Amino acid sequence: MSEMTTPAGAPEEVVTKAFVREIDLGAFGAAGTLSLITIDNGMDHTRPNTLGPKSLQELDNAITAAESSSSVAIAITGKPFIFAAGADLSALPFVSDKSQALSIGKYGHDVFKRLGRSKKPTFAFINGLALGGGLEVGLHCHYRTLASTAFTALPECFLGIVPGWGGATLLPKLIGPEKAVQVIILNALNNNTMMKAKDALGLGVVDAVFEPADFLEKSVAFAAAIISGKQKIERKDHSADNAAWDAAMATGKAAVAKKYGGAEIAAPLRALELISAARINTLDQGFDAEDEILANLVMGNPLRASLYAFNLIQKKRKKVEGAPKPALARKVTKVGVVGAGLMASQLALLLVRNLKVPVVMTDLDQARVDKGVEWVRAEITKLVEKKRLSEEAGRRLSLLVSGSVDQKVFASADFIIEAVFEELAIKQKLFKDLEAIISPECVLATNTSSLSVEKMGEGLSHPERVVGFHFFNPVAVMPLLEVARTSKTDDATTATAINVGKELKKTMIICKDAPGFVVNRLLTRFMGEVTDAVDEGTPADVADNALRPLGFPMSPFELFGLVGPGVALHVSKTLHNNLGPRYRISPTVQRLVDNGVKSFYIKDESGKLAPNPEALALVEKGSNASSSEEVRMRALKALAEEARMMLDEGVVSTPAEIDLCMLLGAGWPMHLGGILPYLDREGISEAVCGQRFHPHGVASLPA
C-alpha cells in the first residue's frame, strides 16, 4: 500500500479513530454478525471527522479487523450527526513535491477500494454530513443509507481540485453522466450547493433514507434484508447511452464557461475529463487518472489560492476583526426600517426572518407603506409554499411586520436602519427627526453605499449611536455586511450592530467611515479604468473582455448593467468629490444616464447578450485606444494603488479584510484566492506599491 505522510510545516492532524464492533443480525432476519466501523475524531460537533494520513491508517486497520472477523458483512458510520467532511485539507498548502501529492490520492484509493473489493457486502450508514472524501467512502461501499437530515456533496471543484478518491470515476458509473455532472460540476460551482437527503436518493447516490431517531437500527435492518436476499438493488449500466454522455459534457462545459466568463479553469474541466473517461475506464484506470490530475492540481496556484480564500471566509464568519466585546451589545426587541421600496423591503424581510422581532416600516405615503409590507408578507408566503417555513412560522412572521406613515411608531425601537434616497441632506434631516422620537440608546444605522456616515450624524445629540450598515444586493443572498464606524460611533453601538449582523448570518468587516467603504471604492476604481479606456477610444468589446482571462462570472459592463448607470454615476461622483480626480466622471456613463439607457448589452432573440446599439452610439469618441492587455494591467494596477491607500488610511486594519470584501462583496473569483494575493503573485503589488500586501505570503501560497 502507498505511504502518505504529513508534509513538513503542516498543522498536526486531528486523528479520526475507527472502532469496530459486531452487531448480531438475528433480530433483523439474517444470520451472522455485521462488523460496524464507527469513525470518530473525539471532538464535539464543531469539528467534523476528517481524513488525513493517520486517520486513513486507522480506517485501514479497522477494515482489516472487519475482514478477518467471522462477520458476514461490513458497515461504516460516523459519530453523532456527522459522517465525514472529507480529506484533511490543512496539509495541502504545504505539499512541496509532486510525489507527495500523488501519495495523497493513492493512499486514499488504496484504503477506500478495500470496501469496494471486499468479498463481504459493504454498507455506508451515512448518519450525517458527508462531504468530498466522506461521500467517496460511501461510494466505494456496495450499498448506502442516508439520514433524512444529512447533507452530502462533492465540493472539490469549488475548492480547485477534483473528487480524487474515487468520486469522479464511481459516481458516473453509479448514477450516469448527467446526474454526475450535476453533483460534481453544477452543484459545486453554484456556491457549493449541497444535496439534501431526498435529492441524494432521487439521483441514486444513496439506496435508502431513514429518519435520524432510529437511523442505525433501520440501516442495519436494510443491510440484513440485502444479506438475506429479501431485498435487491438493481444497478444500471450507463456506458452504452452515447447521447447521455455527450449531453452531460456539453452541460458541464457550458456551466464552467458561464461561471468563469469563458476562462479556462482547470479543476472543473479536469473533473469533466474524468467523468467522461469513466464511461470506458476500468476502476483502476479511473483511480490512476484521478491520482495524476489531483497531484497536478495540488501543485498549482489555483488550489492554494482557493484554500486561502476558503479558510479566510470560514475564519471571518466566526470572528469579526476589531469587534468590541459582545457583552456591550444592547438587546434588540423591535426594529424600524425607514423606507418601503425594494431595498428597504428586502431588509425588512431579512430582519424579521432572522431576528423574529417586530419590524415596522415607514414611508412618505400609505400606498408605498402598504406595497412594502405586502411584498414582505408575499415573500413569507412563498417560503411557506416552498416548505422552507411552516405555516405556523409564516403566520407569526407575517404578524410581526407592520407599516405606518407616522415615524412615532419608532419610539420603542432599539435598532433603526434607513434605506431612503441617496442624498446627504435627506438622511441628515431624517436622523434629526428620528432623534426627537427615539430613545438615546436606539441605534441609527444607514445602508448608504458611499455617503459620509459621520456627516449624517452632524448636529445630533447622540452621534455616537450612528453606524454604517451596508448590505449588498440581493440582500438575502450576498453574504457580506460592511459595518462602518465614524470617529464618534461608540463600542455599544458597534457591538449591537455586530450582534444584529451575526443574527442575520452575515460575514462582517468593521471599516472606517470612508467614501465607498471597501467594496464600492475598489470596484468603482476598477470599473472606472475600463470606462476610461472606452472614453479614450478603446472599442467597448475590447475593454469589456480584457478581464475575462481572470475568470469573473460577469464582465465589467455586464455588472454595470446589473448595478445600473444611475447608481454607478452617483457613486463615482461621490468618490470623485471626496477622493479626487483619479475617480473620473465618465462622459459616456453621464450620457447613458441622461438618455435613460440602462446597459451596454441587450438580449437578442435567442436570449443571449448582444451589444446595445443605443449605448454604443453614446460612447465618447476618443482617439487613444488601448489593447486588451493594457486595459487589464491598468485596472489591476489601479486596484493595487487604491488598496495600498486604503490600508495606509486605516479604512481596514489588515489586507485579509480587503481580500474578504472582494471575495464576498464583489465576486472576486475563489481560484484567484483574494485580490491582494493575486496582485502579489503577478508582481503588480511591488511594481505599483514597492511592496507585497502579504510580505511573507499567505498560508496557502508560496512566499
CA-closest candidate to residue 171, choices 265, 290, 327: 290
What DSSP element (H or E) covers 463? none
What is the per-residue pLDDT for 667?
87
CA 84 – CA 134 distance, rounded (Å): 4
Bridge partners of residue 147, in order along the sequence: 210
Side-chain-side CA neighbours of 75 within 13 Å: the count stands at 31
pLDDT value at 597 more than 70: yes
Residue 647, C-alpha cell as written in the block: 490600508
Homologous superfamily, domain 519-629: N-(1-d-carboxylethyl)-l-norvaline Dehydrogenase; domain 2 (1.10.1040.10)
pLDDT value at 274 more than 80: yes
pLDDT in tens, 642-684: 999 999 999 999 999 999 999 999 989 988 989 999 999 999 9
CA 522 – CA 514 distance, rounded (Å): 12
Q: Are 276 and 293 a contacting pair, CB within 8 Å?
A: no
Q: Are 598 and 589 a contacting pair, CB within 8 Å?
A: no
User: Given the DSSP bridges, would you call strands 466-470 and 480-485 parallel, antiparallel or unpaired?
Assistant: antiparallel
**Hey, what amino acid is at 546?**
A
* Residue ranges, CATH 3.40.50.720, the chain: 326-512
What is the per-residue pLDDT for 701?
45
pLDDT value at 596 more than 90: yes
pLDDT in tens, 168-221: 999 999 999 999 999 999 999 998 899 999 999 999 999 999 999 999 999 999
Is 234 among the catalytic positions? Answer: no
User: How many other CB atoms sit within 10 Å of the CB of residue 360?
Assistant: 23
Average pLDDT, the chain: 94
Side-chain-side CA neighbours of 342 within 13 Å: the count stands at 4
DSSP string over 140-197: HSSEEEEETT--EE--HHHHTS--TTTHHHHHHHHH-HHHHHIIIIIHHHTTSPPBPH
CA distances from 13 to 101, 185, 579 (A): 17, 29, 48
CA gyration radius for the chain?
28
pLDDT in tens, 504-562: 999 999 999 999 999 999 999 999 999 999 999 999 999 999 998 888 888 999 989 98
What is the per-residue pLDDT for 593?
96
Q: Which of 2-6, 79-83, 532-536 is the least confident region?
A: 2-6
pLDDT category, 2, cuts 50, 70, 90? low
* Residue ranges, CATH 3.90.226.10, the chain: 17-299
Residue 82, C-alpha cell as written in the block: 456527522
Catalytic residue among 3, 13, 58, 136: 136
Residue 696, C-alpha cell as written in the block: 511573507
Bridge partners of residue 512, in order along the sequence: 485
| Mean pLDDT for the stretch of residues 19-46 | 94
What is the per-residue pLDDT for 486?
97
pLDDT in tens, 313-365: 989 998 999 999 999 999 999 999 999 999 999 999 999 999 999 999 999 99
pLDDT value at 697 more than 80: no
DSSP string over 367-410: HHHHHHHHHHHHHHHHHHHTTSS-HHHHHHHHHHEEEES-GGGG
- Of the two residues 607 and 254, the one the predictor is more confident about is 254
pLDDT value at 703 more than 70: no
* Residue ranges, CATH 1.10.1040.10, the chain: 519-629
- Length of the chain in residues, anyone? 703
Share of residues in the chain with pLDDT > 70 (%): 99
CA 7 – CA 666 distance, rounded (Å): 34
What is the per-residue pLDDT for 126?
98
pLDDT category, 573, cuts 50, 70, 90? very high
Q: Which of 429-433, 442-446, 470-474 is the least confident region?
A: 470-474
pLDDT category, 702, cuts 50, 70, 90? very low
Is 156 among the catalytic positions? Answer: yes
Q: What ranges in 596-674 are assigned the alpha helix state H?
A: 613-617, 628-649, 655-665
What is the per-residue pLDDT for 3?
61
What is the per-residue pLDDT for 4?
67
pLDDT value at 467 more than 50: yes
φ and ψ at residue 473, rounded to 5 degrees: -95, 135
Catalytic residue among 156, 422, 529, 642: 156
Q: Is 648 exposed, middle or buried (0-12, 13-18, 19+ CB in 10 A)?
A: exposed
pLDDT in tens, 357-413: 999 999 999 999 999 999 999 999 999 999 899 999 999 999 999 999 999 999 999
pLDDT in tens, 99-140: 999 999 999 999 999 999 999 999 999 999 999 999 999 999
Q: What is the CATH number assigned to the segment(s) 326-512?
A: 3.40.50.720
Please state the pTM of the whole predicted model: 0.89
CA-closest candidate to residue 634, choices 525, 539, 553: 525
| Helix, strand or coil, per DSSP, at residue 235 | coil
User: How many other CB atoms sit within 10 Å of the CB of residue 642?
Assistant: 23
**CATH 3.90.226.10 is the classification of domain 17-299:** yes
What is the per-residue pLDDT for 262?
81
What is the per-residue pLDDT for 700?
46
